[in-house]
Amino acid sequence: MAVTLKQIADKVGVHPSTVSRVLTGRHENFSVGEALRARILDAAKEMNYVPNELARGLRLQKSHTIGIVVPDILNPLYAGLVRSIEKENINERYSFLICNTDEDQEKEIKHIEMLRNKRMDGLLIVPVQKKMDHIKALWAENYPFVLILRRFEKLTTNAVVMENAQDAYKAVEHLIKLGHRRIGFVRGRRTSYEIQGRERGYRSALAAYHIAVDPRCIVGDGCSADDGYAAAKELIKQSNMPSALLVSENVIIVGVLEALFEAGLSIPYDVSVVSFADMTFSPFFSTPLTTISMPIDQIGKESMQILLKQMASPEIHLGRIKTLSGNFIIRKSTHKAFGS
Amino acid sequence: MAVTLKQIADKVGVHPSTVSRVLTGRHENFSVGEALRARILDAAKEMNYVPNELARGLRLQKSHTIGIVVPDILNPLYAGLVRSIEKENINERYSFLICNTDEDQEKEIKHIEMLRNKRMDGLLIVPVQKKMDHIKALWAENYPFVLILRRFEKLTTNAVVMENAQDAYKAVEHLIKLGHRRIGFVRGRRTSYEIQGRERGYRSALAAYHIAVDPRCIVGDGCSADDGYAAAKELIKQSNMPSALLVSENVIIVGVLEALFEAGLSIPYDVSVVSFADMTFSPFFSTPLTTISMPIDQIGKESMQILLKQMASPEIHLGRIKTLSGNFIIRKSTHKAFGS
DNA sequence: TTGAAAGCGGTACCAG
DNA sequence: CTGGTACCGCTTTCAA
């Protein structure tokens, strides 16, 4: 169906290799005579030539495509990440094949397998982090990749992550300084790197201010709005419900707000709320949310830069780990505790 | 670097074609002896064979990849669309290469060119709609594609679109029945299909109730939050500002709300607002928004189904145009007009 | 400056 | 049931 080099060659009356030389333009105007060059260019345009990247890729051993594996592109955090990665794609040399895992380990494994089959030149992965063999395999085979937001402690792969413990510490400290003593932690998926860091920060802030950790204050294990809803419900029904909440992830905040609203609790007067959240709309909520916001653009930029460097020399493990800090933004959802 | 069929063949001591037969598993257990079959499978696993889809693709003339072109994956409307498309990808036969146009016609043209170079098996496109030659070209060459949300009146390509005029009509009628007479229309990009339809609906609803259209009530031409902000500002500074607003697109509503908020106008008491919007968070806004919501899942599903059908027989133009209706959801941002 | 030929990694058809 | 071969479309090295 599609026009090939050979067809152009036949039409112009030259050998396919000559056409190739002209069309790839690698050797500029040197290797092929000017007149012939023009004739070939004309013929290609006239015949609507569409170069076959599959064939080029096979020959050159590169697909000019980068695979991106994220939990869910519907989450603005990951959508933003993808866009910022794209911005670092100088000269539009690469395109991006995007996969969603929904935090399902088996999906991730399948997707990465597929991305390898399709010979992605590099991989950008927010890993599910339940298994790591498939990541280790990439590592062992010098397959260029960068982990984003989550990394494996035991593996010095390229990674761009957040100062999760520190970020959470700051948020909890803010609440403590407002006089809160009983502070709830609405946890996301326990197995994931960010959440573990944030829980550490939560605990160490309490410890620093000599507040005992009540295990009943730590609820939840999931990253959907529904999980947040259920977790908040659990806190609400407790006899001495926390006067302040740290919500550990983006999307679950929606469920938390819903539960609080349903229970007739007002923010911040009945309960103060701080959330790890990155939503354009945070300022428009009935109570604008105090949040720890992530430098998404920078995360994407760093990840892509490291990946490009790694792809340039796959045999040398960069082992580059970049750690970034969140930005604590005080809005209206936190308030002094009563009686303090 | 990577293991090839031939290497497996050498190791097992058979011909590559035999290995191919086993590994593709197309002919099931027939064509190759059970013992040999097992030995090949073992060897492949042991050697960590990763089939080369570039080579397969070249040979089979298909990439097993579908190109998706959307304005902006950060817009939850398009992110949702992508996820719903994915859901229709039965057996995970395809992966998706996603491109953002930012409503830039040249970017779209470049992206589609690249998608053709990479030999996408099919294309799903939300077109920018300033030029159509490149779309016509796809059409002329029987390249399978489906347009989503926007179509060209003059081209009977496959498309899944909304009943924009009718949807807008309903919204405006709702406002009129609440007693509003001066109703503003915050328009998105004038050139795009949805917006044109929605403007038609706006105008015909006013006409049906014998209300003259004041051109000063129609503002804006762009799809960003900033555009919405500017457009709303323009309305606000008018001497007799509309008592109700129809906002024609998803993201601009954010700017509109900001402008109203800044001007100290309360919704719905100072001004009623209806928006075309699809955001998980609409219910959480300080005033939950009355919206026309789109059946995103169905749009994605239909688009993908039509595309799959079209890919099955590229030479026959399906010319299938599916039109869906929005869902009018009354929340709290609309109120009776004063003095009515 | 241009042509010829080999090969990237697979698949499929035709023999045997 | 297995082997041999040609070819998918393009790039590149070597000759001429």
| A332 close to A268: Cβ distance less than 8 angstroms | yes
Nearest CA in chain B to A315: B1
Residue B281 confidence class, pLDDT cut points 50, 70, 90: low
Q: What angle do CA B220, B224, B226 make, to 5 degrees?
A: 75
Model pLDDT, residue B282? 59
Model pLDDT, residue A282? 59
Asked if residue B333 is part of any domain, the answer here is: no
CATH of residue A19's domain is 1.10.260
Same domain, A75 and A169: no
> Integer distance in angstroms from CA B35 to C1' D8?
32
Model pLDDT, residue B277? 79
- Whether residue B244 is predicted with pLDDT greater than 70 in this model: the reply is yes
Percent of chain A at pLDDT > 90 equals 81
Residue B48 and residue A92: Cα distance in Å, rounded? 32
Does residue B26 reach within 7 angstroms of strand C, measured from its CB?
yes
Asked if residue B272 is part of any domain, the answer here is: yes
- Whether residue A29 is predicted with pLDDT greater than 60 in this model: the reply is no
Among the listed residues A96, A92, A95, A65, the one whose alpha carbon sits nearest the alpha carbon of residue A78: A96
Asked if residue A334 is part of any domain, the answer here is: no
Same domain, B144 and B188: no
Torsion of CA B68, B70, B73, B75, to 10 degrees: -150
CB-facing half-sphere around the CA of A294: CA atoms within 13 A: 30
Nucleotide nearest to B33 in CA–C1' terms = D1
Same domain, B196 and B279: yes
Same domain, B179 and B285: yes
Number of domains chain A is built from: 3
Model pLDDT, residue A25? 72
Q: What is the pLDDT of residues A232-278, one digit of tens each?
A: 999 999 999 999 999 999 889 988 988 998 999 999 999 999 999 76
Residue A100 to residue B79, Cβ atoms within 8 A: no
Among the listed residues A67, A65, A75, A16, the one whose alpha carbon sits nearest the alpha carbon of residue A40: A16
Does residue B23 reach within 7 angstroms of strand C, measured from its CB?
yes
Same domain, B266 and B300: no
Facing B52 at nearest CB: one of A55, A119, A254: A119
Say if pTM beats, i.e. exceeds, 0.85: yes
Model pLDDT, residue B117? 98
Asked if residue B330 is part of any domain, the answer here is: no
Q: What is the pLDDT of residues A75-84, one digit of tens each?
A: 999 999 999 9
Residue B98 to residue A96, Cβ atoms within 8 A: yes
- Parent domain of B110: 62-162+296-324
Model pLDDT, residue B198? 98
Residues of chain B contacting residue A85, judged by C-beta atoms under 8 Å apart: none
Model pLDDT, residue A223? 87
Kindly state the average pLDDT of the residues A26-31. 60
Model pLDDT, residue B31? 72
Indicate if the alpha-carbon torsion angle A291, A295, A300, A304 is positive or negative: negative
- Whether residue B286 is predicted with pLDDT greater than 80 in this model: the reply is no
Substitution target in B3, B24, B72, B74 with the highest count of A β-carbons within 10 Å is: B74
Residue A22 and residue A32: Cα distance in Å, rounded? 7
Same domain, A99 and A83: yes
Asked if residue A57 is part of any domain, the answer here is: no
Residue A283 confidence class, pLDDT cut points 50, 70, 90: low
Asked if residue B340 is part of any domain, the answer here is: no
- Whether residue A229 is predicted with pLDDT greater than 80 in this model: the reply is yes
| A241 close to A271: Cβ distance less than 8 angstroms | yes
Q: Specify the range with the lowest mean pLDDT, choosing from A268-272, A306-310, B61-65, B248-252.
A: B248-252
> What is the DSSP track for A145-190?
EEEES---TT----EEEE-HHHHHHHHHHHHHHTT--SEEEE---T
Q: What is the DSSP letter of A26?
A: T
Model pLDDT, residue B29? 52
CATH of residue A271's domain is 3.40.50.2300
Substitution target in A281, A282, A296 with the highest count of B β-carbons within 10 Å is: A281
Same domain, B174 and B285: yes
Q: Please give the C-alpha separations between residue B256 and each of A36, A61, B78, B279, B339, in angstroms, as whole numbers.
A: 58, 50, 21, 15, 25
Does residue A58 reach within 7 angstroms of strand C, measured from its CB?
yes
Same domain, B281 and B306: no
- Whether residue A109 is predicted with pLDDT greater than 90 in this model: the reply is yes
Kindly state the average pLDDT of the residues B142-168. 97
Name residues 21-80 of chain B with a Cβ under 7 Å from nucleic strand D. 21, 30-33, 36-37, 55, 58-59, 61
Same domain, B206 and B275: yes
Asked if residue B255 is part of any domain, the answer here is: yes
Same domain, A170 and A155: no
Residue B280 to residue A225, Cβ atoms within 8 A: yes
Show the tokens assigned to B53: 């889809």
Kindly state the average pLDDT of the residues A94-107. 97
Model pLDDT, residue A263? 93
Q: What is the DSSP letter of A232?
A: H
Residue A288 confidence class, pLDDT cut points 50, 70, 90: confident
- Whether residue B122 is predicted with pLDDT greater than 70 in this model: the reply is yes
Same domain, B210 and B158: no
Same domain, A98 and A170: no
Kindly state the average pLDDT of the residues A121-147. 97
- Whether residue B27 is predicted with pLDDT greater than 90 in this model: the reply is no
Asked if residue A139 is part of any domain, the answer here is: yes
Model pLDDT, residue A277? 79
